[in-house]
Amino acid sequence: MAKKCEICAKVSHTGFKVSHSNIKTKRRWSPNIQKIRALINGTPRRVSICTRCLKAGKVQRAL
C-alpha cells in the first residue's frame, strides 16, 4: 500500500540527509498515515488518511 492520504493526496518526499562533513545520503520523509473507518458518502469505508486531515475534521469517523 502506498503511503498516500486519500483526502489531501499527501505522499512521501525524498531528499538528502546532510552530515556535518557535508556528505549527502538519500532519505525519505513519510506522512503519518492511519487506516480508519470513515463515513464516505454516508457509508462506512476503510480509508488511509493523514493525521493532519483527521485532526482538522475533514473526515467523519464511523462508529
pLDDT digits (tens, 9 = 90+) for 16-46: 999 999 999 999 999 999 999 999 999 999 9
The confidence score (pLDDT) of residue 4 equals: 95
Cα 44 to Cα 36, 37, 38, 60, 61, distances in angstroms: 10, 6, 5, 10, 8
Q: What is the reported pTM?
A: 0.77
The architecture CATH gives domain 13-61? Roll (2.30)
What is the pLDDT averaged over residues 6-16? 96
The confidence score (pLDDT) of residue 2 equals: 77
Percent of the chain with pLDDT over 90: 90
The confidence score (pLDDT) of residue 1 equals: 61
